[in-house]
Structure 1
Amino acid sequence: MKILIIYGTIEGQTRKIARYMEDVLQEAKHAVVISNATEDPPSPKEFDMVLIGSSIHLHKYNSAIKHYVTEHVDELNKKPSAFFSVCMAVASNIPEEHEEVAKIASDFLEQTGWKTNTVWHWAGALRYTQYDYFKKLTMRMIAKKQGGATDTSKDHEYTDWDKVKTSVLDFVQ
């Protein structure tokens, strides 16, 4: 099967997840093309299946992802496709955080007209070592509220790689 993966990322975790998905699918003998949404990604027209992912920042998905989906929505709605949403709130034990993430995804799909039935919500990472001083303080405060890691001397990854692998392999079946 020929599969296209398009991603939008700010800090790199969504790219890391997309690359992992690419590896999993290639091991399963699928032909995979992967592209950052900001780098003139290919049309979904020539592919059997499309996986699109974006991180959430400030309650929004990557604008390049929104543009890509809007531009290709007719083609996306004709074939199997999935959306993977990456957000630290998924790692939270606070139910309202999960509800908010689901609403952001639902609103995105409604705004773009994309009719995918498959939406995955995966936890991202805290990249403390990449943040400026103010972002580090803000993210530490949010992490503390949600029960996450507050050691700012290192990065903390929350992505459940087994869940990513299982989800992707189940989807392509």
Structure 2
Amino acid sequence: MNILVVYGTTEGQTRKIARFMEDVLTNAGNKVTIADASDEPPAPKDYNAVLIGASIHAHNYQTSVKHYINRHIAELNKMPGAFFSVCLAVASDLQEEHREAQKITNDFLEHTGWKPLLTTQIAGALKYTQYDFFKRLIMKMISKKEGRTTDTSQDYEYTDWDAVKKFVNEFADKIAVT
């Protein structure tokens, strides 16, 4: 299969996840092209399937991902696709946080009109060392409220790589029979 992976990222965790997905798919014998949505990603028409991912920041995804989907919506809805949403709230123990992340994803997909075969929520990372003073302070307050670490001298990754691999393999299995 010839698969396109397009992603949007702010601090780099979604890029890291997309690269991991690329490795899983390539190791399974697929040809994979990966592209940042803020660059000039290729159109999906030359591929058998597409994975698109973005991260949630302030209840929104990267506008470059939204623009990519809007530009190619007709093609995307004619082919097997999957959407992966990256959000720190997925690492929360609070079900309310999970529901809110899922609602943001559902609203985004409804607004764009894209109907991917699969979607998933993936826990992101707390990138204290990359935040400006204000964002670091806000993230520290959120972490404290959740009972998580508030040591801002380092970053913390919450991505469940086994779950990501399971999702990618599930998608690969579905497109193999499509």
Alignment TM-score, normalising by the size of structure 1: 0.98
Identity, in percent, stands at 60
Matches within 5 A, 1:152-167: 152-167=152-167
| Residue aligning to 2:80 | 80
* CA positional deviation for 1:147: 2.8
Moved more, 77-86 or 141-150: 141-150
CA root-mean-square deviation = 0.8
* CA positional deviation for 1:146: 2.1
Identify unmatched segments of 5+ residues in structure 2: 174-178
Distance 1:105 1:5 in 2: 18
| Residue aligning to 1:71 | 71
Alignment TM-score, normalising by the size of structure 2: 0.95
| Residue aligning to 2:105 | 105
Structure 1 segments of 4 or more deviating over 4 A?
none
Moved more, 110-119 or 82-91: 110-119
Query: Does the Cα contact within 8 Å between 1:93 and 1:147 map onto a contact in 2?
Result: no
* CA positional deviation for 1:6: 0.1
Identify unmatched segments of 5+ residues in structure 1: none
| Residue aligning to 1:6 | 6
Residue type at the aligned position of 1:57? H
Query: Does the Cα contact within 8 Å between 1:92 and 1:148 map onto a contact in 2?
Result: no
| Residue aligning to 1:146 | 146
Instruction: Find the residue that maps to 2:54 and give its secondary structure.
Output: strand
| Residue aligning to 1:26 | 26
Cα deviation 1:28-83 (Å, max 9, x = unaligned): 11000000001110000010110000000010010000000011111111111000
